[in-house]
Structure 1
Amino acid sequence: MHKEDDVLSATHSAAAAAAPGQPMTVAAHTDYTSEELRDAVLSILDDNKADDVVQVDLRGKTSVCDFMVIASGRSSRQVAAMSEKLSEELKARFSIFAKMEGKDTGDWVLLDAGDVVVHLFRPEVREFYQLEKMWMPAQATA
């Protein structure tokens, strides 16, 4: 398996950790909802001064996740720090060991927390990819 193939891997708890070289499995969490997880992500990002936070409700549109959250940081350092803080908080609050890609460069960090996938960008990288436009409702033409 290539590193790129593992980007949207499942979250897991310590009890459900796979053996080395084996894929991770999703832990059955019933103590929180996807809405509570999304709200926690939004709160953590707000506490860490994320800019231009957008949430996209994907329920019924994809089986990958229920919500996508997209936010910007002012620099690569802030993007990397926000992703690290978010990962630590999700682990502490929900026992989620989120899969993270891109933290080393800090241009675009993907954090997979299962029901919520978070994309953190530097503003110019976010503008280039315009990720939220892929999932937003189509504009009605007059």
Structure 2
Amino acid sequence: MKSDQLMQKVVKAIEDKKGHNIVTLNLQGISLIADYFVICHGNSDTQVQAITNEIKKTADAEGVTVRGVEGMDTARWVLVDLGDVVVHVFHREDREYYNIERLWSDAKVVETV
């Protein structure tokens, strides 16, 4: 699966669990880490975990290997590594604090449909 297709499926999974303020950054040509960062937040630990579980379920259904998940135990900032797509699921307060969109301000914001 191409990275842009995977990114769209991840965004849909986040929307399905009512994730907030979804931002997708295109890192192609900027970073070797991944092609896309998808960033969102939930309003509670439970919602952060539900969003993360939906992303993992979607990846499994598409045959995409989940390379790693970090932060599920505290559900404040969960990182899901899908290879070319890396997803950051924050608790609302932590997203405001870390503001990683600012750190990657060179990246273009992708309009998702």
TM-score, normalization by structure 1: 0.72
Q: Secondary structure at the match of 1:89?
A: helix
Unaligned runs of 5+ in 2: 108-113
Higher normalized contact order (CA 8 Å, seq sep 6+, divided by chain length): 2
Unaligned runs of 5+ in 1: 1-31
Count of aligned pairs between the two proteins:
107
Deviations 1:23-71, CA, capped at 9 Å, x for gaps: xxxxxxxxx1110010000111111100000000000001110000000
Deviating beyond 3 angstroms after TM superposition, the runs of 4 or more aligned structure 1 residues are none
- Percent identity between matched residues is 36
Which of 56, 66, 80 does residue 111 from structure 1 map onto? 80
| 8 A contact 1:90–1:98 mirrored in 2 | no
**Residue 125 of structure 1: aligned partner:** 94
**Residue 29 of structure 1: aligned partner:** none
Alignment map for 1:43-62 (pairs within 5 Å): 43-62=12-31
Q: Secondary structure at the match of 2:62?
A: helix
Structure number with the higher strand fraction is: 2
Cα shift at 1:85 = 1.6
Give 2:30's aligned amino acid.
Answer: K
RMSD: 1.3
Question: 1:112, 1:128 → 2: CA distance?
Answer: 22
TM-score, normalization by structure 2: 0.89
Give 1:136's aligned amino acid.
Answer: S
